Amino acid sequence: MTDPAPSLDRRTVLEALAGAGAMSIAGCSALEPESDDPTTVIDGETARELAVQYAPTLYFDTYEKWFPTDPRSYEVERDGETVVDGFEAFDGYTRRFKESETPPEPTVFFNVVQYEASPLAVVQYWQYGAFDQFTTNFHWHDWEVLHVFVDTETDTPQLYVASSHSRKIPNNEFLDPDREMVPRVLSELGSHSSALSVNDVPDRFQRFPIGDTFADITNSAIESIEDIEEIPVAYGLPRDEGSALPYLVPELDGEPIYEHERLPSVERSDLVDESLTIRSLDALTSPPEELPERSTGLVFEHVDRGREDADVEYELVPSSELEHIRGFTGPQLSFEFDVPQFAEDAVAGHITTTGLPWEQPRYDNPAADITEPNHRVALADRYDAIGEAAPVHTVVARVTEAVSDEEAPDGEGVTTEQSSTEAFALVESDPEAIPTFSGYVVAQDIPEGEHRLTVNGAGLTPHSEAVSVNDEAGATVAGVDGEIPLVARENATKLEIDAEGTDADLTGIAVEDDFGGRLYDAPVSGRDAVYVHRGGAYTTEVRDSDDALGAFRVNPGEESSVRIDRPRTGKASLATFLANISEETAEELSELMDDVGDDDDDTGGGSVNAIGGLAQALSSVGETARRAAERAENGNRGAADRNIDSVISLLEQVEARLEDARGSLPDDIARAVELRLEQARRRSEQAKAEEKL
């Protein structure tokens, strides 16, 4: 067992993604690279020799149900064409597996092409699975591919590219592998996404260099091709890295798929194990705990290699023998993905289907599947046949969970921490949901323009925000400083903003917690909603098209929903906020005085006096701020500004009173008052500078 890998450093990743040149951003697809030279198919004995030489060893999860097989066993004739039927494949494969107690017809298909007038050839290893069951997607049939780029003159491998979930997620890639090492592929449970293993522990994925070993991928987030020691941004193998992934149960016509009449051989036990499975994302009130980590099950090896420790030996078959198949069919399966909207949560279906590998661009041009620009740059430097990388468009963020802050008074502050499970993201201009890895969303191939990013997770409330992708930015960093906190459903309050009836043309909304700081900041149009942890104390800020600000105090408590109706911007709004936060804090201090009591000794009396003086100073701020709001609403700018000047002076007195009372206050209360005082000072300066009344 290797040492646990270090966690990804958010600041390092986001600074690298946001600040690096467009050519150097890890995991970001080259949208339209320079054209590559055509390829020629290599067949016959030469192709087989290359395929056998680099035939990978395949490692599967102990819970895996669907192994590489031959789809021709499930062909049917339909409307004069040969297709592979989803029901026939799923049920037939399951039945044969049970009868033989070993994976039926273990097969890997190969395709070998060579770039014209170049020594660069590519051996492709295509694996077909009868079904795919994952967290963000499930479908009939599944195709995964490993590309091995080889220099035929020197007989040296140049690059491994192992397919991830989709073109939206960075592939797992390794530049300049050891020529003596057989490629090793670690297949993700259910989804069969392919990770690489090139290290001393063959059945484990290693994202970071540890000790004398190197990482299993050379994807990088920095400019230099040689310097790859920072943060390799690629999908990897989350469960092998200690990340929890809950799986979903596919449904068809509103019922679990294993109950369908056309799947008589399929039972619940023929899907991913129940210990890893939930029925839907909203079936839980909090993220699931104690999900099993990955462990290795069956190991597949090519039959000619003759390894004694292999559990299953597979055949190599040219993929050209499949090219008569015109489709892989099956009805649409259902998948629920909450998209937060103003009045209610919409449920959208986002499921992909399997196409024909031989009709995909990467079949003829494997370089089209390189998702790390630095790897394309490296090959382009070595071979004229490979075009240079292009600028990239990607959206990146770290997904965390908002929880109660132990250093805050009860119900008055939150913080964020790494979520116990991976989440799922959807760029709503694209119909494919993608999983996070190590808590990160990295969505690539995002077209220039306006989009909406939604993040969801098991037992968590969804988050949605607008993102703008343009050619100038190497990466679009979503969230607040790249962080998107989700909230467990059991702790969530829906904060709604309803701008109907107000004269303000709202363009943005931000939410800050006293202890957790700014948690949400995104463009808004008209009405919006965001989920917050009910254990926090929040300042909601709105901005309008004139850059005027408004602020509102929100203490959700046990409320399931809080609505801010017709939020205003301008001096009156900010002054009202100052009054509310000051009066709120003064009231809490007054309640604290009752608990302290007026003891007979000097210590008790001194505490009460100190806390009372602080509460009185805050009450004075509240009264003066409320007069400022009234005068601003009446159009008396001069009087409103004079009152705000008085508020600023009074806040200085509050600061002095806080120092006097600090020794008498519990640490959490003192810190809460201090943080609210900082908020009040900032909002008072904004109120003074605000032109709009």
Top pLDDT among 619 and 222 is at 619
Residue 275 has pLDDT above 90, yes or no: yes
* Residue in the structure block whose two tokens are 């009202």: 576
- Report which listed range, 425-434, 438-447, 640-649, is most confident: 640-649
Q: In this predicted structure, what is the pLDDT of residue 604?
A: 53
Q: What is the edge-to-edge ordering of all strands in the sheet holding 492-498?
A: 527-533, 492-498, 561-565
Q: How is residue 544 written in tokens?
A: 């309008």
DSSP helix, strand, coil percent of the chain (3-state; round to 5): 30, 30, 40
* The pair of three-digit structure tokens given for residue 454, joined into one six-digit string: 């939604």
- Cα(679)–Cα(672) distance, integer angstroms: 11
pLDDT of residue 142: 93
End-to-end CA distance of the chain: 65
| Contact (Cβ atoms closer than 8 angstroms) between residue 550 and residue 541 | yes
Cβ atoms of 256 and 409 closer than 8 Å: no
The 3-class SS string of 579-627 reads: HHHHHHHHHHHHHHHHHHCCCCCHHHHHHHHHHHHHHHHHHHHHHHHHH
What's the mean pLDDT in 612-637?
96
pLDDT at residue 228 in the model: 31
The letter for the amino acid at 314 is Y
Is the Cβ–Cβ distance between 436 and 246 less than 8 Å?
Answer: no
Residues 336 and 92 sit within 8 Å (Cβ to Cβ): no
Q: Is the pLDDT of residue 64 over 70?
A: yes
Q: What pLDDT band is residue 4 in, cutting at 50, 70 and 90?
A: very low
Closest alpha carbon to 680 in 643, 655, 656: 655
Per-residue confidence (pLDDT) for residue 475, from 0 to 100: 78
Radius of gyration over alpha carbons of the chain, in Å? Answer: 30
**Which of 27, 67, 56, 374 shows the shortest CA–CA distance to 207?**
27
Structure token pair of residue 351: 């499921």
What six digits make up the tokens of 329?
A: 């069919």
Length of the chain equals: 693
Report pLDDT for 23: 36
Give CA separation, 261 vs 180, 256, 266, in Å. 50, 11, 10
The per-residue pLDDT for range 284-317, each reduced to its tens digit, is 889 888 899 899 999 999 999 878 789 999 999 9
% of the chain with per-residue pLDDT over 90: 61
DSSP assignment letter at 546: T
Predicted confidence at residue 3, as pLDDT, reads: 43
pLDDT category, 339, cuts 50, 70, 90? low
Per residue in 106-164, pLDDT (tens digit) is 999 999 999 999 999 999 999 999 999 988 778 899 999 999 999 999 999 999 999 98
pLDDT by residue (tens digit) across 435-452?
A: 888 888 888 888 888 888
Q: What is the pLDDT of residue 394?
A: 83
What is the reported pTM? Answer: 0.87
**pLDDT over 60 at 45, yes or no:** yes
Q: Which of 564, 573, 545 is nearest to 684 (CA)?
A: 573
DSSP string, 85-124: EHHHHHHHHHHHHHHHSS-SS-EEEEEEEEETTSSEEEEE
